[in-house]
Amino acid sequence: MSIKNKAINLLERQITKPALVLETRAWHSGTFYEVDLHIPDADFSQFKGVSHIKCRVSPLTFRDYTISKWDDITKTCTLFVDAAHNGPGSTWVKTLSTQDQISYMQIETHRYPVMDQENYLFLGDQSTIGHFLALQQLATKKAQISGAVVINNKIHQEELRDYYPELSLTPVTLQQCHSQTILTWLQNQSVNNYDMICLAGSSTMIVEVRQYLRKNGVPNNKIKTQGFWR
């Protein structure tokens, strides 16, 4: 091992903590993954918003993934990783196996309005499934959640329905782009009937859908956004 690599390893050991891979599950075609983790140092009882874990995916390279389906008693959670594109995160998740130890730098919780209203609309793409499951876990029992998520793989659409029917989101097939797909779906929706509309995923889609919502009378304080990619 070179002096440079030794220095990198030493630095990473100083700034990261360990987590254990309990199981990985690949969806059809191996382009989308669920990763169950045991994180002994996590305090999930303090979660008041959506939290992200900054995972080491290659030397000195980190990626943020939403923590969902967490359990404070067992210190376990699930990450949902979109691996349909080329990148260090996609390469990393495809190599993970049960009992692997991974490293993470930190867990950050982003403040979010209390999910105690009745009607929520979730709009996003496949990369947002973990984010929306986390929001659902934060919501009170009276919350009614609906919406749409852009998923181009037809089998993945079926898998979402089969694996997480409680999420109650409609999978829609990608048209020209993510923005146009969501905007077309919204044409049949009464957007002013919701207590909050949560947009997540493509930053471009978020900007364009927010503009549509504002033009149709939805106030800014009823729109919550989280950009994951451009």
Which among 54, 88, 110 is the end of a domain? 110
Which among 85, 110, 135 is the end of a domain? 110
State residue 111's pLDDT score.
81
Q: What is the pLDDT of residues 33-74, one digit of tens each?
A: 999 999 999 999 988 889 999 999 999 899 999 999 999 999
Cβ contact 47:109 at 8 Å: yes
Which among 110, 139, 173 is the end of a domain? 110
State residue 210's pLDDT score.
97
Residues 20 and 63 in one domain: yes
Residues 74 and 153 in one domain: no
CATH code (residue 219): 3.40.50.80
Please state the rounded mean pLDDT for residues 96-124: 93
Cβ contact 200:131 at 8 Å: yes
Q: Which domain holds residue 192?
A: 119-229
Which one-letter DSSP state was computed for residue 85? S
> Which among 64, 8, 16 is positioned nearest to 39, based on CA atoms?
16
User: What is the pLDDT confidence band of residue 81, given thresholds at 50, 70 and 90?
Assistant: very high
Neighbours of 186 (CB within 10 A): 19
Q: What is the pLDDT of residues 134-190, one digit of tens each?
A: 999 999 889 999 999 999 999 999 999 999 999 999 999 999 899 999 999 999 999
Number of domains in the chain: 2
Residues 128 and 174 in one domain: yes
Q: What is the pLDDT of residues 29-38, one digit of tens each?
A: 999 999 999 9
- Compute the distance between CA of residue 158 and CA of residue 89 in angstroms, rounded to an integer: 25
Decide: pTM greater than 0.85: yes
Residues 100 and 145 in one domain: no
